[in-house]
Amino acid sequence: MKYAEMFRFGAEALERAGVREAELDARLLLETVCHTSRNDLLVHGDREITEEQEQQYREWITLRASRIPLQHITGVQEFMGLEFSVNENVLIPRQDTEILVEEVLRELTDGSRILDLCTGSGCILLSLLHYSNDCVGVGSDISQEALAVARKNADRMGIRADFLCGDLFERVEGRYDFIVSNPPYIASGEIPELMEEVRLHEPLSALDGHEDGLFFYRRIIGECPDYLVRGGSLYLEIGWDQGSAVKTLMEEAGFHEVRVTKDYAGLDRVVSGVWF
């Protein structure tokens, strides 16, 4: 079968299954199976694919139609221009989270010590280390399975970082110039309303922020002064409607220069502050 025919098969199958962005997902899966590019598919749509490629593509389309996330099928997700391995044990890196990384990079200086809480795949920490010089990075997560993914990513990228298994600061020692986190922040009552791909296939522990979604913010903000150097900064990713609440928590805890940064859609996305 030809490229163009396989693409039409995949797109139509995903559309029938009600998958959002069916054509995009069908194309990305085909590109991955055939180890090719969008341009190549467009220019050489009449090129035949192998039987092995056709079989794998059909299997992947079936998985995607059953709401398995695209990234769990391919095993990778791009973030900050870098490729990260992902699986069902970590939250899939989102473009929104790049705002946090970009904000930290604006202030990051050579040799800084960085602590990433709820590190998951390690995408935040490893991106910061990749785009900086001589920084020291530590990632903490309560999940050993998530840390295995983070370590794999660090090894693949040739980045040195330490990873600790514990509940937030449980195993953390010393003080840091920057503490960053994208903690679970979805209110428990909102979990059933999430897309099936997220609700059923991403780790609940990386999503559920307890009753009001602020549980982990209260803990991080309350405990982090013991782990920040004087003049150190805390950066937190937030949900679109949590800016005011998290800003207030940080101000009440004694942080200075607290600000809310919006994402490219104009929604509140990051709250940051400095500890003196």
Q: What is the pLDDT of residues 160-199, one digit of tens each?
A: 999 999 999 999 999 999 999 999 999 999 999 999 999 9
> What would the pLDDT profile of 259-276 be if each residue is shown by its tens digit?
999 999 999 999 999 999
Q: How many domains does the chain have?
A: 2
204 with 152, same domain?
yes
Q: Looking at 28, 45, 66, which one is the last position of a domain?
A: 66
Same domain, 110 and 184: yes
Q: How far is CA 271 from CA 116, 117, 244, in A?
A: 15, 15, 9
The two three-digit tokens of residue 177, written as one number: 């110039």
What lies within 8 Å, CB to CB, of 264 at 6+ separation is 99
Same domain flag for 54 and 91:
no
Residues of each annotated binding site: 141, 182-185
Same domain, yes or no: 159 and 182? yes
Which residues does the annotation place in the binding site for S-adenosyl-L-methionine? 141, 182
Distance CA 271, CA 129 (A): 21
Residues 92 and 214 in one domain: yes
Q: Are residues 100 and 125 in the same domain?
A: yes
- 201 assigned to some structural domain: yes
Q: Is 267 helix (H, G, I), strand (E, B) or coil?
A: coil
Q: What is the pLDDT of residues 65-106, one digit of tens each?
A: 999 999 999 999 999 999 999 999 999 999 999 999 999 999
Is 71 inside any structural domain?
no
- Say how many CA atoms lie within 13 Å of 135 toward its Cβ: 27
Confidence of residue 36 (pLDDT cuts 50, 70, 90): confident
> Residues within the annotated binding site for substrate?
182-185
Domain identity same for 159 and 227: yes
Three-class SS state of 126:
helix
Together in a domain, 47 and 91 = no
Q: Same structural domain for residues 220 and 174?
A: yes
Q: Looking at per-residue confidence, does 48 or 9 come out higher?
A: 9
Q: Mean pLDDT across the stretch 17-29? A: 96
Model-level pTM? Answer: 0.95
Domain of 193, in residue numbers: 76-275
- Residue 44 sits at φ, ψ, to 5 deg, of -120, 45
Quote the longest CA-to-CA distance of the chain: 65
Domain final residue, candidates 15, 39, 66: 66
Q: Is residue 34 in some structural domain?
A: yes
pLDDT of residue 44: 66
